[in-house]
Chains A and B, each alone.
Chain A
Amino acid sequence: MFSTALTDLWYGFGVALEPHNVMWCFIGVFVGNMVGVLPGMGPLATISILLPLTFGIKPVGAILMLAGVFYGAQYGGAICSILLNLPCHPPHAVTCLDGFPLTKKGRGGAALGITVISSFVGASWGITEMIFLSPILVVVALKFGPAEICSLMLLGLLAGSTLARGSPLKGVAMTVLGLLIGIVGSDIETGTPRFTFGIPNLFDGVEIVALALGLFGIAEFMKSVNQLSEVDTKYTNVKFKDLRPTREEFRRAIPAMFRGTIIGSLCALIPGTGPTIASFISYATEKKISKTPELFGTGMIEGVACPEASTHSSVQGDFIPTMSLGIPGDAVMALILGALMIQGIVPGPQLITEHPDIFWGLIASFWIGNIILVVLNVPMIGLWVKLLTIPYKYLYPSAMFFVAIGVYSTNNDMFQVGEVVVIGIVGYLLMLLDFHPAPVLLGFVLGPRFEENFRRAMLISRGDVLVFIKHPISGVFIGLCVLLIVLQIYWRLRSPKSLPTEMPLGTDHKVPAAAE
Chain B
Amino acid sequence: MFRTLVKKRDFYAGGLMTLLGAAVTLDSSTYTLGTLTHMGPGMFPLMLGVVLTFIGVLILGTAAATPLSDDEHIMPKQREWRGWACILAGPIFFIVLGEFFGLVPATFSCVFVSALGDRTSTLKDSAILAAGVTFFGVLLFSYVLKIPFPMFRLGH
- Given A192-B32, A393-B120, A408 and B115 contact (CB-CB distance below 8 Å): no
Smallest CB separation, B3 vs chain A (Å): 20
A200 within 8 Å of B (CB atoms): no
| Complex interface residues of chain A between 370 and 426 (CB less than 8 A to chain B) | 392-394, 396-398, 400-405, 408-409, 412, 414, 417-418, 420-421, 424-425
B48 adjacent to A176 (CB under 8 Å): yes
- Given A226-B118, A400-B110, A177 and B20 contact (CB-CB distance below 8 Å): yes
A433 within 8 Å of B (CB atoms): yes
A455 adjacent to B90 (CB under 8 Å): no
B19 within 8 Å of A (CB atoms): no
B78 adjacent to A170 (CB under 8 Å): no
B88 adjacent to A421 (CB under 8 Å): yes
> In the complex, which residues of chain B have a beta carbon less than 8 angstroms from the beta carbon of A218?
87-88, 91
A435 adjacent to B13 (CB under 8 Å): yes
For B25-50 the 0/1 string (1 means CB < 8 A from A) is: 00110011001111111101100110
Residue among A56, A176, A454 with max Cβ neighbours from chain B (10 Å)? A176
> In the complex, which residues of chain A have a beta carbon less than 8 angstroms from the beta carbon of B145?
53, 56, 409
User: Complex formed: what's the CA distance from A56 to B92 in Å?
Assistant: 26
Place the interface of chain A in its size category.
Answer: 35 or more
A393 adjacent to B110 (CB under 8 Å): no
> In the complex, which residues of chain A have a beta carbon less than 8 angstroms from the beta carbon of B56?
173
> In the complex, which residues of chain A have a beta carbon less than 8 angstroms from the beta carbon of B115?
393-394, 397
- Given A172-B55, A463-B36, A397 and B41 contact (CB-CB distance below 8 Å): no
Smallest CB separation, B133 vs chain A (Å): 5
A401 adjacent to B137 (CB under 8 Å): yes
B66 within 8 Å of A (CB atoms): yes
B13 adjacent to A225 (CB under 8 Å): no
> In the complex, which residues of chain A have a beta carbon less than 8 angstroms from the beta carbon of B107?
401, 405
A169 within 8 Å of B (CB atoms): yes
| Complex interface residues of chain A between 438 and 485 (CB less than 8 A to chain B) | 451, 454-455, 458-459, 462-465
Smallest CB separation, B59 vs chain A (Å): 5
**How many inter-chain residue pairs (CB < 8 Å) link A and B?**
184
| Complex interface residues of chain B between 114 and 130 (CB less than 8 A to chain A) | 114-115, 117-121, 125-126, 129-130
A195 within 8 Å of B (CB atoms): yes
A136 within 8 Å of B (CB atoms): no
> In the complex, which residues of chain A have a beta carbon less than 8 angstroms from the beta carbon of B22?
none
Smallest CB separation, A54 vs chain B (Å): 11
Dominant secondary structure at the A interface: helix
Partner of B41, one of A167, A194, A394, A421: A194
| Complex interface residues of chain B between 92 and 150 (CB less than 8 A to chain A) | 92, 94-95, 98-99, 106-107, 110-112, 114-115, 117-121, 125-126, 129-130, 133, 137, 141, 145, 147-149
User: Complex formed: what's the CA distance from A392 to B112 in Å?
Assistant: 15
**Number of B interface residues in the complex (CB < 8 A):** 72
A169 adjacent to B37 (CB under 8 Å): no
Among listed A83-91, A182-190, A256-264, interface-contacting one: A182-190
B83 adjacent to A170 (CB under 8 Å): no
A169 adjacent to B90 (CB under 8 Å): no
Partner of A433, one of B16, B55, B80: B16
- Given A412-B148, A434-B13, A463-B35, A222 and B84 contact (CB-CB distance below 8 Å): yes
> In the complex, which residues of chain A have a beta carbon less than 8 angstroms from the beta carbon of B88?
218, 222, 421, 424-425
- Given A176-B52, A397-B130, A225 and B58 contact (CB-CB distance below 8 Å): no
B114 adjacent to A397 (CB under 8 Å): yes
A420 adjacent to B36 (CB under 8 Å): no
> In the complex, which residues of chain A have a beta carbon less than 8 angstroms from the beta carbon of B35?
463
- Given A176-B52, A433-B12, A421 and B59 contact (CB-CB distance below 8 Å): no
A404 adjacent to B91 (CB under 8 Å): yes
Smallest CB separation, B75 vs chain A (Å): 7
User: Complex formed: what's the CA distance from A190 to B42 in Å?
Assistant: 11
B110 adjacent to A401 (CB under 8 Å): yes
Partner of B37, one of A179, A187, A463: A463
A221 within 8 Å of B (CB atoms): yes
- Given A56-B145, A393-B118, A455-B39, A400 and B91 contact (CB-CB distance below 8 Å): yes
For A193-213 the 0/1 string (1 means CB < 8 A from B) is: 011000000000000000000
B87 adjacent to A420 (CB under 8 Å): no
Partner of A397, one of B66, B80, B99, B133: B133
A284 within 8 Å of B (CB atoms): no
> In the complex, which residues of chain B have a beta carbon less than 8 angstroms from the beta carbon of A434?
9-10, 13
- Given A169-B59, A414-B99, A180 and B52 contact (CB-CB distance below 8 Å): yes
User: Complex formed: what's the CA distance from A396 to B120 in Å?
Assistant: 14
A432 within 8 Å of B (CB atoms): yes
B149 adjacent to A404 (CB under 8 Å): no
- Can you name the residue of chain B whose Cβ is closest to the Cβ of A407? B91
User: Complex formed: what's the CA distance from A421 to B88 in Å?
Assistant: 7
- Nearest first, the 7 A-B pairs at minimum CB distance are A225-B83, A463-B36, A463-B37, A393-B118, A397-B115, A187-B41, A397-B114
Q: A173-B55, A225-B118, A392-B118 are in contact. List 7 more A-B contacts (CB 8 A).
A: A194-B31, A218-B91, A225-B83, A414-B95, A432-B9, A432-B75, A433-B10
9 chain-A/chain-B pairs, Cβ below 8 angstroms: A183-B44, A183-B45, A194-B42, A226-B78, A397-B90, A400-B91, A418-B91, A421-B91, A463-B37
Residues of B within 8 A of A (CB): 9-10, 12-13, 16-17, 20-21, 24, 27-28, 31-32, 35-42, 44-45, 48-49, 51-52, 55-56, 58-59, 62, 66, 74-76, 78, 80, 83-84, 87-88, 90-92, 94-95, 98-99, 106-107, 110-112, 114-115, 117-121, 125-126, 129-130, 133, 137, 141, 145, 147-149
